[in-house]
Structure 1
């Protein structure tokens, strides 16, 4: 008779945020592991709210306000639920009815922007609305997830999890850049402990963050992956390499991840999965960690219902470039070499 391993002790969590914040580690290949989250930004929201409460910057009962395209809104609403705070979300036009319903049941008030195909306009409208709210309600606290470095702090706990869960040795983190806090917070913390870590950032075309705003991708869902406005929380000098991926390639990665590994994850995870597959085949040493920030539910109609249209990831390759002048869809890759960003070209 074959002995069975003893069952792991169950953990009873005091709040849902404790259960949601920790990802599952799933092996995708010999040197590739996926950190699969239900909603990654719980780390950012919890870390930021706890720190601001400890500093006395905010107090229980106060209203926290921020702009969001989705998963940060839910994370902030849950953090406010946990710590007895009120929550007001200025939501992107991309926030769907399911997400909005969850926010409202959690007690958050929601301002949603009108339908728009121009995400730059959508983001600007959200910022303008936040400023209007602050002028009308001076007691509100603007969380500024795109600009306040306090959102880096929660990812120290994720760094502990990665250190405990993955073997020692070289580590390559592959993640959508987004606000910069998740990939930056994780990698800053790991490097601060002396770990050898490469950071590969994934961007859509049309994002100003790494200079692709001169290119358009009509199908792109920029929200949560890149940005049409500048984010101070993106610390460009943390990134070793940048990959710009169009919608169809990100879709190929997301559908391929579900088809090959039964993992239902969002579009940013699909793009990171595609990039990690190419990078891990060229760099066999160490471990490649793919950050899977959320599930695929927001992308059912735009991505997964169209799975028969998906490209085969095995046949896709990036154009390797050395200058942003050569940047071109559908997939470009450039060694960023931890350079700072002036808004025109990377600088030493």
Structure 2
């Protein structure tokens, strides 16, 4: 048998890391566990930019991110030789900053929020200034670039081949790329696939007023254009206590050492799968837990956050408007409606225990 081809050194780590492991968690629940999910759209966006001639040697890549999309870009830019400037905010943790800088990334931190739009808007304003400072630049734009959701076609193909027909896809929502993109491709095979988006309060993505969030990696201070609201059948807002417990449970039960966005998806997917044993459920688990060793995986930190003060909810309460979902764990029947339609004072979409 001829030996298998090995990718070129500059691409080996990307190809080895960008796709998830598919892990059976329950008889009808599969987890798509990524080491670093945002590496996939980062690589895909830069590929497409190169093909269109928007990204050539000497171009500086500029982006706003305080999370793993920055790390994905840093890895690809380092391997391909593109200068990278990341605009973040104080939420970015020191360990991530160190990794970015070791990969040759220039990191700028916005210290003050914008009066409207918070740190997200402050970062966008600084990004606009950087574009003027770097005439030869390319901005991937994870929040609005359609290449972000399109990157997940390969994930949908992987899931379809390994799992078979999927009845329900559950995933956290930040930029909207992973849930919307994966669902759109899976629905080519099964149009009735149910998509459940997981957010946390307070977040503007699904119609709440902005505010401080205890759970990192979920929610947003602005509504990203890549969030296609009409794709979602149901939306959950998961509270910090529920998310942190689920993150720890995912490790304790299944030896999956993942971050809180993965815990949020697992929380909702396991709850749904247990109530629909005849349906095949897949949960998107975005990243591993090593960045959270000193926070989510430490009882002392959880106690300082108040996450151990009250017992977490075992199930969500049903609400009919996003404003009613501000505390704890809540669910709303989105019914593939637009954000404007959901916020109108009209009859709510039907959401029953069997839906």
Match in the other structure for 1:246: 239
Tell me the equivalent position of 2:322: 324
1:302 is displaced (CA, Å) by 2.7
Aligned match of 1:282: 275
Please give the alpha-carbon distance, in whole angstroms, between the structure 2 residues aligned to 1:286 and 1:43.
28
Contact 2:250–2:263 (Cα < 8 Å) also in 1: yes
Q: Secondary structure at the match of 1:199?
A: strand
Matched residue, 2:126: 129
Q: 2:42 and 2:332 mapped to 1: Cα distance?
A: 31
Q: Does 1:302 align with 2:304?
A: no
Distance 1:203 1:211, change over 3 A: same
CA distance in 1, matches of 2:101, 2:297: 27
Pick one of 165, 171, 179 that aligns with 2:167: 171
Provide structure 2 residue ranges, at least 5 long, that are not aligned to the other structure: 350-355
Match of 2:54 in 1: 57
- Cα 1:96–1:242 change in 2 (3 A) is same
- Deviations 1:87-144, CA, capped at 9 Å, x for gaps: 111123222222112212222111123388x995322221111111112222211221
Give CA deviations for 1:271-321 in whole Å, capped at 9, x if unaligned: 1111112111121223211111011122223311027865777x6111112
> What's 1:234 paired with?
227
Equivalent of residue 336 in structure 1, options 334, 337, 352:
334
Structure 1 position 220, deviation (Å): 1.3
Matched, 1:34 2:31: yes
Any conservation in 2 of the 1:252–1:312 contact (CA below 8 Å)?
no
SS of the equivalent of 1:225 reads: coil
Give the aligned partner of residue 4 of structure 1. none
Does structure 1 conserve the Cα–Cα contact (< 8 Å) formed by 2:172 and 2:198? yes
User: Does residue 220 of structure 1 match 2:218?
Assistant: no
* Alignment CA distance shift 1:13-1:195 (3 Å): farther
**Whole-angstrom CA distance in 2 between matches of 1:219 and 1:121:** 12
Higher mean C-alpha deviation, range 84-93 or range 328-337:
84-93
Per-residue displacement from partner, 1:127-171 (whole Å, max 9, x unpaired)? 11111111222221122111111212211111121112112x343
Pick one of 141, 145, 148 that aligns with 1:144: 141
Match status 1:111 vs 2:104: no
- Counterpart of 1:44 in structure 2 is 41
Contact residue 178 and residue 226 of structure 1 kept, 8 A: yes
Kindly state the Cα deviation for residue 11 of structure 1 after the two structures are TM-superposed: 7.4
> Are the aligned partners of 1:170 and 1:285 in contact in 2 as well (CA < 8 Å)?
no
Superimposed CA distance per residue, residues 195-254 of structure 1 (whole angstroms, 9 cap, x where no aligned partner): 54211000010110101226x5x6613x42110112101000111110001111111110
Query: How do 1:189-228 residues align onto structure 2 when only pairs under 5 Å count?
Result: 189-194=185-190, 196-213=192-209, 220-221=214-215, 223-228=216-221
Gaps of 5+ in 1: 1-8
- SS for the counterpart of 1:49 is helix
* Residue 182 to residue 11, structure 1, CA distance change in 2 (3 Å): farther
Give the equivalent residue in structure 2 for 1:5: none
- Matching residue within 330, 338, 345 for 2:343: 345
> Could you tell me whether the CA contact under 8 Å between 2:18 and 2:36 is conserved in 1?
yes
Indicate if the aligned counterparts of 2:319 and 2:331 stay in contact, CA closer than 8 A. yes
Please say if residues 202 and 326 of structure 2, whose CA atoms lie closer than 8 Å, have aligned partners that are also in contact. no
What residue number does 1:77 align with?
74
Report the CA distance between 1:188 and its aligned residue.
Answer: 0.9
Closer, same or farther: CA 275–11 of 1 in aligned 2, 3 Å: farther
Superposition CA RMSD, Å = 2.6
**Would the alpha carbon gap of residues 328 and 105 (structure 1) be closer, same or farther in structure 2, given more than 3 Å must change?**
closer
Question: Contact 1:211–1:343 at 8 Å: present in 2 too?
Answer: no
Match of residue 159 from structure 1:
156
Which residue in 1 is equivalent to 2:84?
87
